C-alpha cells in the first residue's frame, strides 16, 4: 500500500496538532475523508440539490437517481440481493434501534434475546429496552480470558425460546473478529433470527451477507471514509416486507386517508422524511474509493500494521495489551500503561499530535468483564504507516517518563 500517495488524498492528514505532525489513530471512532467524498457532497449542493421521491422535475429526478444509486452501491458492496434490502438510517445505532422496535414487535413474554459480553452499547441497550417492554429476557454469551467469544457458551445459551441472536462481527475495543457465519447457522438451527453489528467489520474486511447468511446487518458510513449522519441496515427482503415501520410520516407511505395509511414498498417503508441525500452522494464516493483500493489490500495492510504495532508496544515495559493472542483481530491495539490512567496516556499523546481514544468506548459491560475502568485504544486504517506506530510507541514511552513509572 503506497500510504504516502494515499495520504495526499486526505486533506486533513496534512494538519498539524500542537505544532506536531498529526498522527490519527482513532479510526474505530470515525475515519478521515478522502477528496472524492468531500467533492461528492459539495457537488451535490452545488449542482443537484433537490428533495428525493417528490418533485416531478429534472433536478429532483437527478437527486433521486443519485440517492437510489447509493443504495445500489451499498448492496453491491456487501453482496445483498438488491436495493430493497438496504435501508438508510442515521447511523449503526439507529439501524439497531429500528430492529429492536420493528423486529421486536413479534417478541412475546418469556422470549429470549441472546447477545455477547463484548457488545457496544448500541447492540445492548435497544434490546434491553425491548425486553422491558415485552417482558422478555436478555442473555449474554461469555468471552474467554484473552477476549475471544466463547462459542460453546453461546451455543449453550441458545434455547427454544431464543428469538434473536445479535452479535458484533468485530469488537470495537479488543478487535476480536467473531465467526458470524457459524453464529448465524446456530441461530437458525434454533429458529432464531441473526443480527450482525458490522460497524467495525465492513470498513476493514470484505463482508458478504450471502456467505454469512445473517438476517440483518448494521453499519455506519462514517467509519468507512464516508460522511457522518448515514447508517445502513441490511435486511432480508422477505423479513423487511413483514416488519412494521419504525418511523412514520412522509415518503414511507403509499396512501394516507383520514382513517389510516398504507406503507410504501421496501426499503422506503423504513425511510420516513427527507433523508441525508448529500451524505448518500458522499457514501457512494467512499464505496468507490474502497472498491478501487481493494478490501483485501486494506486488510493485508492493516494486518501488517497490527503485527508491527503489537510487537513494538509489547517491547515497552509496563504496557498491557488486551485482545486475542491467537485468532483473527482487526487493526486495533487496546492497551494500558501500568500506573497511568488511560486518559493521562491519551493527554500526553495528544501533546505529540497522536490521536487515540481512551475510556470505556461505549462498552461498559466489557470493561467490567476485563476488570478495568478504561482502556487506551489505537486503531488503524488504510492511510496509517509504520512511522506513525513509532510515534505512538515513543509517545507512550514519554507518558511513562512523565508519570514516573
CA distance 321 to 313: 8
Q: How far is the CB of 233 from ligand C6P (least distance, A)?
A: 11
User: According to the binding rule CB under 6 A, does residue 200 interact with ligand C6P?
Assistant: yes
User: According to the binding rule CB under 6 A, does residue 225 interact with ligand C6P?
Assistant: no
User: According to the binding rule CB under 6 A, does residue 176 interact with ligand C6P?
Assistant: no
User: According to the binding rule CB under 6 A, does residue 31 interact with ligand C6P?
Assistant: no
Q: How far is the CB of 28 from ligand C6P (least distance, A)?
A: 5
The residue ranges of DSSP E strands in 159-204, in sequence order, are 162-168, 193-197
User: According to the binding rule CB under 6 A, does residue 215 interact with ligand C6P?
Assistant: no
**Residue 334: which of 354, 316, 361 has the closest Cα?**
361
CA distance 279 to 41: 7
CA distance 175 to 118: 10
Binding region for ligand C6P (CB under 6 A) out of 97-105, 145-153, 248-256, 355-363: 355-363
Is 362 labeled as catalytic in the residue annotation?
Answer: yes
Which of 48, 157, 361, 400 binds ligand C6P (CB under 6 A)? It is: 361
| β pairing state of 162-168 and 193-197 | parallel
Which of 6, 13, 28, 358 binds ligand C6P (CB under 6 A)? It is: 28
CA distance 253 to 236: 20
CA dihedral angle for residue 197, residue 130, residue 128, residue 333, rounded to 10 degrees: 10
Contact assessment for residue 70 and residue 284, using Cβ atoms and an 8 Å cutoff = yes
CA distance 313 to 242: 50
**Residue 283: which of 200, 220, 218 has the closest Cα?**
220
Residues across the chain: 405
User: According to the binding rule CB under 6 A, does residue 346 interact with ligand C6P?
Assistant: no
User: According to the binding rule CB under 6 A, does residue 91 interact with ligand C6P?
Assistant: yes
Residue closer to ligand C6P, measured from CB, 71 or 357: 357
User: According to the binding rule CB under 6 A, does residue 199 interact with ligand C6P?
Assistant: yes
Binding region for ligand C6P (CB under 6 A) out of 41-49, 118-126, 128-136, 275-283: 118-126
In 190-235, which residue ranges form alpha helices assigned H by DSSP?
Answer: 209-212
x/- track of binding to ligand C6P for residues 270-299 (CB under 6 A):
------------------------------
Residue closer to ligand C6P, measured from CB, 102 or 116: 116
Number of residues that bind ligand C6P (CB under 6 A): 17
DSSP structural state of residue 231? E
Grid cell, residue 353, equals: 499530535
Binding region for ligand C6P (CB under 6 A) out of 62-70, 87-95, 101-109, 384-392: 87-95
Active-site residue among 22, 239, 362, 367?
Answer: 362
Which of 93, 176, 276, 284 binds ligand C6P (CB under 6 A)? It is: 93
Grid cell, residue 384, equals: 496509517
Question: Which positions lie near ligand C6P, rule CB under 6 A?
Answer: 28-29, 91-93, 120, 122-123, 168, 172, 197, 199-200, 220, 357, 361-362
Amino acid at each position: 500500500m503506497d500510504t504516502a500517495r494515499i495520504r495526499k488524498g486526505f486533506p486533513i492528514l496534512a494538519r498539524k496538532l500542537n505544532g506536531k505532525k498529526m498522527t490519527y489513530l482513532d479510526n474505530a471512532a470515525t475515519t478521515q475523508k478522502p477528496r472524492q467524498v468531500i467533492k461528492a457532497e459539495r457537488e451535490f449542493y452545488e449542482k443537484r440539490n433537490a428533495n428525493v421521491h417528490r418533485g416531478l422535475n429534472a433536478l429532483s429526478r437527478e437527486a433521486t437517481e443519485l440517492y437510489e444509486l447509493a443504495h445500489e452501491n451499498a448492496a453491491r458492496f456487501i453482496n445483498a440481493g438488491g436495493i430493497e434490502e438496504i435501508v438508510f438510517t442515521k447511523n449503526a445505532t439507529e439501524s439497531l434501534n429500528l430492529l429492536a422496535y420493528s423486529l421486536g414487535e413479534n417478541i412475546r413474554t418469556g422470549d429470549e434475546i441472546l447477545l455477547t459480553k463484548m457488545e457496544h452499547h448500541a447492540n445492548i441497550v435497544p434490546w434491553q429496552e425491548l425486553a422491558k417492554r415485552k417482558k422478555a429476557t436478555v442473555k449474554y454469551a461469555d468471552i474467554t480470558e484473552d477476549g475471544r467469544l466463547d462459542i460453546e457458551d453461546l451455543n449453550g445459551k441458545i434455547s427454544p425460546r431464543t428469538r434473536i441472536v445479535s452479535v458484533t462481527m468485530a469488537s470495537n475495543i479488543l478487535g476480536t473478529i467473531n465467526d458470524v457465519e457459524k453464529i448465524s447457522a446456530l441461530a437458525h438451527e434454533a429458529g432464531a433470527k441473526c443480527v450482525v453489528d458490522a460497524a467495525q467489520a465492513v470498513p476493514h474486511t470484505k463482508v458478504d451477507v450471502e456467505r454469512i447468511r445473517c438476517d440483518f446487518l448494521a453499519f455506519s458510513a462514517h467509519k468507512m471514509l464516508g460522511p457522518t449522519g448515514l447508517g445502513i441496515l441490511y435486511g432480508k427482503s422477505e423479513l423487511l416486507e413483514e416488519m412494521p415501520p419504525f418511523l412514520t410520516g412522509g415518503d414511507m407511505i403509499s396512501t394516507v386517508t383520514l382513517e389510516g395509511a398504507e406503507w410504501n414498498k421496501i426499503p422506503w417503508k423504513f425511510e420516513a422524511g427527507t433523508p441525508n441525500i448529500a451524505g448518500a452522494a458522499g457514501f457512494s464516493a467512499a464505496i468507490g474509493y474502497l472498491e478501487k483500493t481493494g478490501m483485501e489490500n486494506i486488510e493485508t495492510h492493516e494486518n501488517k500494521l497490527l503485527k508491527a504495532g503489537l510487537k513494538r508496544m509489547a517491547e515497552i515495559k509496563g504496557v498491557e495489551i488486551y485482545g486475542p493472542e491467537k485468532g483473527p483481530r482487526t487493526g486495533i491495539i487496546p492497551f494500558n500503561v501500568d500506573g497511568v490512567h488511560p486518559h493521562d496516556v491519551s493527554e500526553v499523546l495528544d501533546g505529540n499530535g497522536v490521536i487515540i481514544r481512551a475510556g470505556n468506548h461505549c462498552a461498559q459491560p466489557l470493561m467490567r468483564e476485563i476488570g478495568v475502568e478504561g482502556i487506551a485504544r489505537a486503531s488503524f486504517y488504510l492511510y496509517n504507516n509504520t512511522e506513525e506506530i513509532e510515534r505512538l510507541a515513543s509517545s507512550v514511552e514519554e507518558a511513562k517518563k512523565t508519570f514516573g513509572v
